[in-house]
Structure 1
Amino acid sequence: MKQIAFYQTMLGLVGIAEKNGALTDLFFGREHQPQDSVERETPLLREAAKQLKEYLAGKRKTFELALAPEGTSFRKTVWGALREIPYGETRSYKQVATVIGQPGASRAIGMANNKNPLLILIPCHRVISNSGKLVGYAAGLDVKEKLLELEKHRVRR
């Protein structure tokens, strides 16, 4: 069973879940709460919320948290590649596909992004269309744009 806690952030209400000492989910609002969860704050969830708030305040560029996203081996490979995209930078779906050794898998990369259970912590917001446009984000394009602007602004400092 997952432990879950909710925290108010500058982007709205965020839910964070953990299981067996690693984070499994980060999402916006209560309606996306995993079914196999019980609301109970743990030290790991408190630390995750602290690091998330530091990131949103521009005081943190990387997360030091144990992550255990649940998904297929392909999705986990994609999510691993996303974690390698540097703070303040973006990559296209095609670039991510090339990094994982499957240059023709841009659409599959998009689907893996769409199923990312750990928004922000696995930075799928850093993936943009091949043309450079912002497309798709589970929390909405306005949130994606805010995250990219936050990082862009902090990189310049």
Structure 2
Amino acid sequence: MAGMPDTAMGDPSATPAYKMSGATVVKGTFTVLDTRPPGMDDVKGTAWLAQGPKGTTVTVSLTGLEPGHVYMAHLHARHCSDGNGGSHFQFDKGGAAKPPNEIHLMFTADKSGMGMTTVTNARKTGKDALAVVVHPNEAQDNRIACADFDF
């Protein structure tokens, strides 16, 4: 996005959320959704959300993706069982549908179908970001998988 550092959408080499010093970390396991595109039945993975001195850090790690394809993940305001995560979590409800008001993670699956990235936002989500949803970048309505965070 114009004017934003490349890390605003994720950095696969950044310190993952589960290694954030002085942070409280919650973990979620991805489950596939009925809205997933064909061929995505074996997608599995984990998401972590850490809140600490640096704000909110989110890491996603998935396998079973299509090699070389670009994926997007967003924090969501509802649990996976409630409308596949509902709408995107926003720090300022009704504000811009992009970072820094939302947390987006963009990544490309490697040749084995694995994708991982981390993003940090200076603000804390509190307990309002309840899930993270992954979908193909080009088809955001085709939600592949969702992971709930249990606080």
One fold, TM greater than 0.5? Answer: no
Q: TM-score, normalised by structure 1?
A: 0.27
Which has a greater percent of helix? 1
Q: TM-score, normalised by structure 2?
A: 0.28
